[in-house]
Amino acid sequence: MTSEFPRVRLPILRHLHEELHFDVLAVEGSMLDAWLAQDDLLHAAPSDGDAIRNASRTGWLTLWNTSAMRSVLEYVWASGRGERLYFTSMDIQPGTGGTAVKKAVMRRFIERIFDYAGEKDAAVAAEQLAVSLEPLRMCGGKQPAPLERVSAVTRLSEAIGRADARVRQVLPMHADALALVPTMLNERLHHCDEVVGTGGTFKSNEYWKAYKEARDRYQAANVLALRERVSRTHRIVVWGHHSHVGYHGAGARAGVSISGVLRDRVPGETYALGLYAGAGRYFRIQDGPRDKIDLVDVATAGDPCCGGMDALRGFSKSPNGYLLDFGLSQGDPLISFAKERLGYSLEGNGVPAVLSEEFDGVVFVPQITEAKLE
C-alpha cells in the first residue's frame, strides 16, 4: 500500500477509458459491496462532498480506504457526465473487514434491494436476513452452509430478480451488474465450504493457499461475466494486487491467479501490468497465517533478497520512472534480466519471480511513500 501507485495507475486507467473505450473497472472486494457503493454514487447529488468518501469505505477492501484511492472514485464519478466508466468488483468477499461500515454492508445491500423490489418493511426484513448471511463475510459458521444460510441466499437472489426493472431505469449497466450478484453469493457459499471444510481441518499455512486459489478461480470467471454482460465494449480493467494480477501470482506460494486463469481461457486477450519502486516505504499486507500490516522499506541496492529490484533500478535513470513493455522490447539485451528468476520486493519479502512470465509490462516508480490508511 503506497500513496503513489494509485496515482500512477490513474492516468493509465484514464487512457484506457477515454482512448480505448474500456468501460468497466473491477476491483478487489466484492460485487455486492461495489454495487452498493455505485448505487450510492448514482443517487448522490453533485454537491455531496461525502459521497466519494462514503463510497470508498463501502466499495472495496478496507485497506484501500486512502486519499489516493479516492481519486480513482472521483474519476469514476466524473465519468458519469460523459462516456461512463462503471465501477464494480469481480471479487466474492461481501463486507470483509472489521470496521462498522463493512459489517453493515450486507444489511444495507439487502435493504436497498428490497426497496427496489417494492417489499414492505424492507429494513426489518434486511436486519433478519443479514444475520443468516453474516457468516459469508469471513467464512464463519458451520460448513457446508446450513439450510438457513442457503435459503437466505435464495431469498435475496429472488429479490434481486424482482428489483431488476427499477434498477434498469436508473442505469442498464447497473442492472446487468446486479444480475451477477446471485452467482457471486453462491460462489461464496461454495468458497467457504472449499477452504474451511466440514471440520475446519486445514492447517494455518495451508488455509491461505486454498483460500486464495479458490477465490481467484471464481474472480476470473466473474471478470469474464462482467466483460460479456456488463461492459458495452467488452473491455474491462481489473485493479488488484500482484498476487492476483501476476500470471503466476507474482512468485507467491499460491499457484493460481486471476490473470493466469484468464490467459488460459482467453489467450491473447489479457495484459498484466506490475508496479515496482526503487526506494521509499510502504505498508506490506500479509494474508493468512501471517495476517498483519507492517511498515517496510523498499530493499536497498545490493540486498541479496532482491536482485530484480537492482535490475529495475539500473534499467533507466529517469527521475520520473518508466513503463517497460516486454513485448515491444523483446530481444533487447538491456531487459535480459526480465527472463531470469530474481527477487522482487513489494510482493512478499524478496519473492523470486521471472518478471516476463508474471507480467506483460511493468511500471517503475523511483520513490514511494506509505499510504495513510483511513
Same domain, 93 and 195: yes
39 pLDDT more than 50: yes
91 pLDDT more than 50: yes
Smallest CA-to-CA distance from 90 within 272, 219, 213 is with 219
pLDDT at res. 288: 53
Q: 31 CB contacts (<8 Å, ≥6 apart)?
A: 88, 89, 90, 91, 92, 177, 180, 181, 184, 222
- Give the range among 126-140, 258-272, 310-324, 348-362 with minimum mean pLDDT: 348-362
Distances in whole angstroms, Cα of residue 338 to Cα of each of 120, 137, 166 = 60, 39, 51
Same domain, 236 and 279: no
Structural domain boundaries, residue 60 = 28-66+85-240
Residue at which a domain ends, from 240, 259, 289: 240
pLDDT at res. 223: 98
In degrees and rounded to multiples of 5, residue 288 shows phi and psi of: 70, -135
Per residue in 287-334, pLDDT (tens digit) is: 654 567 888 899 999 999 999 999 999 999 899 999 999 999 888 899
pLDDT at res. 253: 76
Strand order across the 322-325 sheet:
292-297, 273-286, 361-368, 322-325
349 pLDDT more than 80: no
Q: 268 CB contacts (<8 Å, ≥6 apart)?
A: none
Same domain, 166 and 41: yes
Let me know if residue 360 belongs to a domain: yes
Same domain, 117 and 220: yes
* Higher-scoring residue by pLDDT: 241, 198: 241
Residue at which a domain ends, from 215, 240, 265: 240
Same domain, 294 and 226: no
Same domain, 199 and 321: no
User: What is the model's pTM?
Assistant: 0.95
pLDDT at res. 290: 52
In degrees and rounded to multiples of 5, residue 100 shows phi and psi of: -60, -35
pLDDT band at 181 (very low <50, low <70, confident <90, very high): very high
Let me know if residue 359 belongs to a domain: yes
Beta strand spans in 223-318 (E): 236-239, 273-286, 292-297
pLDDT at res. 204: 62
- Provide, rounded to the nearest whole percent, the portion of the chain with pLDDT above 70: 95
Beta strand pairing status for 24-27 and 236-239? parallel
- Rounded to an integer, the average pLDDT of 18-34 is 97
How many structural domains does the chain have? 2
* Higher-scoring residue by pLDDT: 66, 283: 66
* Higher-scoring residue by pLDDT: 265, 290: 265
- As a whole number of angstroms, the distance between CA 288 and CA 95 comes to 18
pLDDT at res. 345: 83
Same domain, 59 and 198: yes
Per residue in 108-151, pLDDT (tens digit) is: 999 999 999 999 999 999 999 999 999 999 998 898 999 999 99
- How is residue 114 written as a grid cell? 428490497
pLDDT, averaged across the chain? 92
Same domain, 150 and 285: no
Q: What is the CATH number of the domain that holds 302?
A: 3.40.1660.10
Let me know if residue 73 belongs to a domain: no
Let me know if residue 2 belongs to a domain: no
Same domain, 168 and 93: yes
pLDDT at res. 289: 47
- Rounded to an integer, the average pLDDT of 169-180 is 97
- As a whole number of angstroms, the distance between CA 326 and CA 279 comes to 23
pLDDT band at 347 (very low <50, low <70, confident <90, very high): low
Let me know if residue 260 belongs to a domain: no
Same domain, 235 and 140: yes
pLDDT at res. 324: 96
Beta strand pairing status for 351-354 and 341-344? antiparallel
pLDDT at res. 102: 94
Let me know if residue 248 belongs to a domain: no
Q: Decide if 237 contacts 259 (C-beta within 8 A).
A: no
Query: Which residues sit opposite 202 in a β-bridge?
Result: none
Same domain, 205 and 60: yes
Let me know if residue 133 belongs to a domain: yes
- How is residue 76 written as a grid cell? 469514476
Q: How far is CA 44 from the centre of its chain?
A: 24
- As a whole number of angstroms, the distance between CA 169 and CA 12 comes to 31
Same domain, 341 and 286: yes
Let me know if residue 151 belongs to a domain: yes
Per residue in 48-85, pLDDT (tens digit) is: 889 999 999 999 998 899 999 999 999 999 998 778 99
